Structure 1
Amino acid sequence: MEQPQSKKMKDSLTIKTSHVSPPDTNHHGNLFGGKLMSDVDDVASIAAARFARKPVVTVSTDSVDFFKPIRIGDAVTMEAIVTWSGTTSMEVFVKVLSEHLITGEKSIAAFSFLTFVALDENGRPSPVPKAIPESEEEHWLNKTAKSRAAHRQKRKKESRDLADFFSNLSL
């Protein structure tokens, strides 16, 4: 598998803004966490496909950290960017911002990291370009990706061990 040429991280930047409506919220008037996670996966998959210029699949949602509730009537903006790439996989960072549309107050509402794999025409893992950081934020995200990858691998092994354990049980 020959790896495609390098590509700037910013070439993957994907931004999605939407209005928070009552059907998107819980009984507290806050955006459902699951709805936000679905939207995060959607915008992250676009960033990954844009970077690889190939079909992609979500391998894992590595983390979703919620910092502030997003309320009915707010705008929610998700900014996704590929932060690191391996041979066939890519880490994508999503920053979630809430905006009170009347006051203009903006807040960071959540951060998320996801991993995607690019696919070839046969549905097999396919090489992706090397991610090249340029800005200070991109350099930090790229530099710290190795520690997140190590944590991801450890967690994945633990999940496999857990699956093996439960596959041998009859409940």
Structure 2
Amino acid sequence: MNKAYKTVSESQVTISELMLPSHTNFSGKIHGGYILSLLDQIAFACASKHSETYCVTASVDTVDFLQPIEVGELVTMKASVNFVGNTSIIIGIRVEAENIRTGKVKHCNSSYFTMVAKGEHEKNIKVPGLILQSENELRRFFKSIKRIELRRERKDYSDHVKYNAKDMLPDLDRYNVKIDI
């Protein structure tokens, strides 16, 4: 049943998983790659729920690892649709880890995934619009617009900058680099 518009709450997804020793990196903390895999899964679930079709990851705008996650903590990921375009959906995800013994909850990660809805023969298809019902949803929508604008500005800038090694060499003194050409 395809709707022209959907509320944010209709597509929200929450998952929780206990962090196990098999999820750790060499320093004994939960591996960032494992968290990225979970983030991609929940972004897919949220976007597919909103679009009612298969979605693929187009880009990951930011993944800010704020605090480490420990073995034995219960990780909860909350995903919401923050923005929709014609065929794309921006999913905002908040990651929290709870120490089960103390009940203390910490914010560990925030991330934004752009997902694209796919139809037959892998063609991009139109997604339902978004009904915003709170100041928080409106704020998230506007922040997504700003991130899109900034991404375009960065791309335009990098596409048009002329890199001349001779002119840039003096600026490299402040960086940890050695030129050996």
What root-mean-square deviation, in Å, do the aligned CA atoms of Structure 1 and Structure 2 show? 1.9
Shift of 1:4: 5.4
1:87–1:127 contact (8 Å) kept in structure 2: yes
Note the 1:56-71 alignment, pairs <5 A: 56-71=55-70
Percent identical pairs in the alignment equals 31
TM-score w.r.t. length of structure 1: 0.86
Query: 2:45 maps to which residue?
Result: 46
Over 3 Å counting, the alpha-carbon distance change for 1:32 and 1:131 in structure 2 is: same
SS in 1 for 2:38: helix
Shift of 1:152: 2.8
Query: 2:16 maps to which residue?
Result: 17
Distance 1:33 1:153 in 2: 27
Distance 2:77 2:159 in 1: 31
Query: 1:122 maps to which residue?
Result: 121
Over 3 Å counting, the alpha-carbon distance change for 1:128 and 1:70 in structure 2 is: same
**Is 2:115 the counterpart of 1:137?**
no
Note the 1:57-136 alignment, pairs <5 A: 57-136=56-135
Distance 1:159 1:113 in 2: 22
**Superposed CA offset, 1:135-165 (max 9, x none):** 332121012111111123345567889xxxx
The number of aligned residues is: 159
Where does structure 2 lack aligned partners over 5 or more consecutive residues?
161-181
SS in 1 for 2:37: helix
Over 3 Å counting, the alpha-carbon distance change for 1:150 and 1:70 in structure 2 is: same
One-letter amino acid matched to 2:63: V
One-letter amino acid matched to 1:95: R
**Superposed CA offset, 1:27-81 (max 9, x none):** 3221111110110010011000000001101000111001111101001000001
SS in 1 for 2:9: helix
Shift of 1:120: 1.2
1:4–1:128 contact (8 Å) kept in structure 2: no
Over 3 Å counting, the alpha-carbon distance change for 1:160 and 1:132 in structure 2 is: farther
Distance 1:99 1:149 in 2: 32
One-letter amino acid matched to 2:57: T
Displaced runs of 4 or more, over 2 A: 151-161
Over 3 Å counting, the alpha-carbon distance change for 1:131 and 1:88 in structure 2 is: same
TM-score w.r.t. length of structure 2: 0.82
One-letter amino acid matched to 1:146: I
Higher relative contact order (CA 8 A, sep 6+): 1
Where does structure 1 lack aligned partners over 5 or more consecutive residues?
162-171
1:4–1:127 contact (8 Å) kept in structure 2: no
